[in-house]
């Protein structure tokens, strides 16, 4: 995890107090020294009477400094925080897929595939998360009766590091494309790269385990599960076999969220669900998204449909039903990065969502700079959402209770 501390506030305050003390001493307590031969005028009596005694000025300065120190201590005791979690949707590094064919022909690698502006946002996030929709392996065999199976060479994990990715979801329908061997290879590859994963494991306990981060004194938990297949070819992990965590039946995933709620300040539920290439929401998404918030999730984020879907606030908390493809294939599709800004202190907590509009086309994902195009995407998202408005800066707000 990146360390994005924004400087030592206590040191800056001490410098400010020292500067204030010196300034007050100079303005209130300056003495005029005579040098031999200098002809200084004698101060008039009324001027002498107007001057404050040196001792009183020093005491006043001390009082001012002590007052400022007390106010700083009060502010510090509130434990202010301000950090950003960034999310992207589906990404695919399969060696025989269109994305990597394009990547292999570029001069600057991933920077020719994804806008540097988008990469910078990902790198600057306190925690960057996306959906890893393939395996890292050179072994295994493709699952029978599966139309698409994705596998990347383990060295491709370095692309995630270039993008600033800290954690990925493996709770999807492609993490087991080349069998148990490929999933185990994937987890080992991510471990060696220092990238965390959730939603899959060597056994069910690991697949269900939340991943925790500490940021500015707050604990953030990531949990994930999948209900993306009509024909359930990707197995759920068992007591002694690898796999993902499924949520066709929500009981286990609700249990995971409840556990995370007990141990974290904020819980992120990242879910693989929905109908591919459809903006329409399934009843299962509408129902279970609310169930996950009732269980303790602060933000629910979806992937799998390969296109953007709408958003909803439930009990004041956001559900983002699908982030769509981020860099997945050669189709022309709108996409986005999602910044989730947590800020406040012990007395006031805030969660603000910001959309960074982008477009995937011809195996490139580029930021949308033109304001009219950005607002066109905002307007479309509002149309397919339930109770969400988006301002001209891409900030979400709830429109109705």
Same domain, residue pair 256 and 335: yes
Structural domain contains residue 4? no
Alpha helices in 43-170 (DSSP H): 45-50, 54-77, 98-104, 116-124, 157-163
Structural domain contains residue 1? no
Per-residue confidence at 179, pLDDT binned at 50, 70, 90? very high
- Position 65 scores a pLDDT of 60
Q: What percent of the chain has pLDDT over 70?
A: 81
Express each pLDDT in 334-380 by its tens digit. 999 999 999 999 999 999 999 999 999 999 999 999 999 999 999 99
Structural domain contains residue 179? yes
Same domain, residue pair 258 and 173: yes
SS3 letters across 332-344: CEEEEEEEEEEEE
Same domain, residue pair 134 and 280: yes
**Of 244, 154, 155, 177, which is closest to residue 207 (Cα–Cα)?**
244
What is the spatial distance between Cα 235 and Cα 175, in angstroms, rounded to a whole number?
10
Q: What is the mean pLDDT of the chain?
A: 88
Q: What percent of the chain has pLDDT over 90?
A: 79
Structural domain contains residue 329? yes
Same domain, residue pair 89 and 64: no
**Confidence (pTM):** 0.82
Per-residue confidence at 118, pLDDT binned at 50, 70, 90? very high
DSSP string, 138-151: S-S-PPTT-S---E
Express each pLDDT in 51-73 by its tens digit. 455 555 556 666 666 665 555 55
Domain boundary among 18, 44, 77: 77
- Position 400 scores a pLDDT of 82
Structural domain contains residue 3? no
Structural domain contains residue 343? yes
State the total domains in the chain: 2
Express each pLDDT in 237-278 by its tens digit. 999 999 999 999 999 999 999 999 999 999 999 999 999 999
Same domain, residue pair 37 and 97: no
Length of the chain (residues): 401
Instruction: Tell me which residue range forms the domain holding 21.
Output: 9-77
Domain boundary among 19, 52, 77: 77
Same domain, residue pair 65 and 88: no
Domain boundary among 77, 100, 131: 77
Poorest-confidence range of 73-87, 198-212, 311-325?
A: 73-87
Same domain, residue pair 260 and 307: yes
- Position 270 scores a pLDDT of 98
- Position 58 scores a pLDDT of 54
Which CATH number is 126's domain given?
A: 3.60.21.10
């Amino acid at each position: 995890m990146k360390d994005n501390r924004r400087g030592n506030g206590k040191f800056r305050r001490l410098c400010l107090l020292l500067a204030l003390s010196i300034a007050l001493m100079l303005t209130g307590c300056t003495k005029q020294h005579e040098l031999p031969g200098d002809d200084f005028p004698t101060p008039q009596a009324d001027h002498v009477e107007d001057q404050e005694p040196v001792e009183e000025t020093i005491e006043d300065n001390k009082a001012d400094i002590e007052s400022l120190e007390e106010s700083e201590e009060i502010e510090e005791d509130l434990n202010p925080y301000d950090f950003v979690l960034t999310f992207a949707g589906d990404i695919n590094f399969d060696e025989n897929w269109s994305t990597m064919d394009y990547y292999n022909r570029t001069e600057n690698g991933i920077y020719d595939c994804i806008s540097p502006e988008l990469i910078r946002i990902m790198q600057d996030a306190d925690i960057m998360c996306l959906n890893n929709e393939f395996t890292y392996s050179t072994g295994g065999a493709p699952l029978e009766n599966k139309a698409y199976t994705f596998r990347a060479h383990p060295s491709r994990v370095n692309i995630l590091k270039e993008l600033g990715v800290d954690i990925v979801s493996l709770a999807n329908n492609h993490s087991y494309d080349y069998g148990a061997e490929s999933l185990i290879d994937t987890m080992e590859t991510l471990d060696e790269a220092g990238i965390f994963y959730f939603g899959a494991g060597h056994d069910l306990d690991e697949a269900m385990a939340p991943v925790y981060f500490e940021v500015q004194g707050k604990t953030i938990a990531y949990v994930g599960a999948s209900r993306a297949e009509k024909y359930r070819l990707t197995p759920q992990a068992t007591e002694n076999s690898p796999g993902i965590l499924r949520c066709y039946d929500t009981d286990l995933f609700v249990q995971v969220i409840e556990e995370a709620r007990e141990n974290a300040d904020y819980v992120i539920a990242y879910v693989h669900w929905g109908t591919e290439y459809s903006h329409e929401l399934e009843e299962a998404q509408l129902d279970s998204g609310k169930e996950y918030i009732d269980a303790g999730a602060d933000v629910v984020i979806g992937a799998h449909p390969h296109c953007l879907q709408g958003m909803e606030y439930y009990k004041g908390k956001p559900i983002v039903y699908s982030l769509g493809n981020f860099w997945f294939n050669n189709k022309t599709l709108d996409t986005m990065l999602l910044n989730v800004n947590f800020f406040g202190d012990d007395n006031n907590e805030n969660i603000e969502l910001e959309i960074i509009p982008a477009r995937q086309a011809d195996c490139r994902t580029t930021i949308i700079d033109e304001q009219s195009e950005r607002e066109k995407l905002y307007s479309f998202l509002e149309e397919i959402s339930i109770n969400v408005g988006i301002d001209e800066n891409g900030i979400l707000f709830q429109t109705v209770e």
